[in-house]
A = this chain, B = another copy of it.
Amino acid sequence: MRVNYARMLQERLDGVHGLAPPRLDALVRRFPEVHGELLARRTEGEYGFYHLPEASDTVAAIRRFSEGLGQAHEDVLVLGIGGSALGTRALLDAIRGRDWNQRSDEAREYFPRVTVLDNVDPAAIGAALQRLDPRRTLVNVISKSGNTAETLAQYLVVRAWLREALGDGASRHLVFTTDPESGALREMATTAGVASLEVPPAIGGRFSVLSPVGLLPLALAGIEIDELLGGAGEAVRRAESDDLRENPAALYAALMFAADTQLGARIQVLMPYCDGLREFTAWYCQLWAESLGKAHDRRGQLIHAGPTPLGAVGATDQHSLVQLFMEGPFDKVVAFVSVDDLGPDLPIPSDPSLPEAAAFLGGHTLGELLHTEYEATSAALAKAGRMNLTVRIRDLSARSLGELVMFFQIAVGYAGVWYGVNPFDQPGVEFGKRLTYAALGRPGYQGETATPRPEPVREGV
């Protein structure tokens, strides 16, 4: 993995926009202090995700589980939301391909399909339960806290569906992934005798894909989870230096922080040139938005900070968002992800009898066209004074994806220090939850109301 940042620099853009050398130098000089703060917080146990690559006993336990019970099923149904769903979907799409569930049993080598339900939309859940056969489906219910309302609601519906088909055998089709001790899901696992895996308490939801949260469903789909963790370990090793120019994740964070707070680039686009990484951008957006979007800094000062992440995919979105990136306000950085080896390439057949607009493509390959478009878009953005950088990865193997996941997790950890915020909480969503509980009559929340209570909505057309 390599981060190329030349096109973040003023001298490589139009000479007006971008990072001037003194700003970069200042980031480099200040970095040892940032790195030191992160190390101190790691020592205090705050950055638990750094330890995920060391969990070889977890890997062994998940492998035993997935080779036994798991392989008896044609479908895995994951019930979760946010960090309990996004990472699994991202890595499944990247490593197995976006059409995994549509492939034949042979093409899947008899590994199960994986359906991730991350909403409480009755139409989507109803369609999934109509499609799946409860006798051949393993249901993995995932909630870090064990108390997530959406996931518990899904679970109650799915439990009834399992019981209707399987009676008392339903619990053998269930596995819970949750906190080792607290929460409703843990309590139900114990009382109902449901198999369960533990989310280490030091791992927050959006940092949990390399914990049992993601590892179990990914292992069930036949993904080499030790390779995932091996790649993640590589990212950890490459993040030890207090020289900013030798620490890729820290450099990524510093450049993005400077772009936002010094150069007005509040919007940070992650744009892989690769279909399989489309869902990965959604995982990244959660990680970036929920970790850094904060009203208060660590000292309690009101700051209302946080860049807005935006996912895009090349070449596709050259025909959608790139017009805005090229010509709109100077309020964005584009972080490309370029994949060296996308797998077997497809040649574009030659046919000189075709019209010229088609004929010139003959003799090239699809992969070559895709890569050329990435290079052209990066160069065109630079010429227009638009900051962009590239994270280059070797391939879409489990190892490369494990490294990429951990790279971004470490980057957001550093960004937390630069912004001065706690990247591990999410206080802004609590009030909405309490309003929901109140509306549904949950005991203890009757008093919750949006004060001043909004009047009934009149303004409409």
Q: Is A82 an interface residue (CB 8 A)?
A: yes
Given A153-B369, A157-B366, A247-B461, answer yes or no on A358-B121 (Cβ-Cβ < 8 Å).
no
The reply to whether A327 and B366 contact each other, CB–CB distance below 8 Å, is no
The reply to whether A450 and B329 contact each other, CB–CB distance below 8 Å, is no
Which chain A residues numbered 289 to 308 have a C-beta less than 8 Å away from chain B?
A: 289-290, 292-295, 304-306, 308
The reply to whether B121 and A274 contact each other, CB–CB distance below 8 Å, is yes
Which chain A residues numbered 14 to 47 have a C-beta less than 8 Å away from chain B?
A: none
The reply to whether A349 and B157 contact each other, CB–CB distance below 8 Å, is yes
Interface size range on A against B: 35 or more
Q: Which of A276, A318, A376, A427 has the most CB of B within 10 A?
A: A376
Complex Cα distance, B294 from A384, in Å, reads 13
CB neighbours of A81 from chain B (8 A): 315-316, 319
List the number of copies, as a whole number.
2
CB neighbours of A327 from chain B (8 A): 293-295, 304, 306, 427-428
Q: Is A136 an interface residue (CB 8 A)?
A: no
The reply to whether B107 and A130 contact each other, CB–CB distance below 8 Å, is yes
CB neighbours of A322 from chain B (8 A): 428-429, 432
The reply to whether B304 and A330 contact each other, CB–CB distance below 8 Å, is yes
Q: Is A310 an interface residue (CB 8 A)?
A: yes
CB distance from A180 to the nearest CB of B (A): 16
5 other contacts beyond A123-B344, A293-B324, A310-B310, with CB at 8 A cut-off? A119-B313, A154-B366, A327-B427, A372-B436, A380-B431
* Nearest 3 A/B pairs, CB to CB: A82-B319, A293-B324, A326-B428
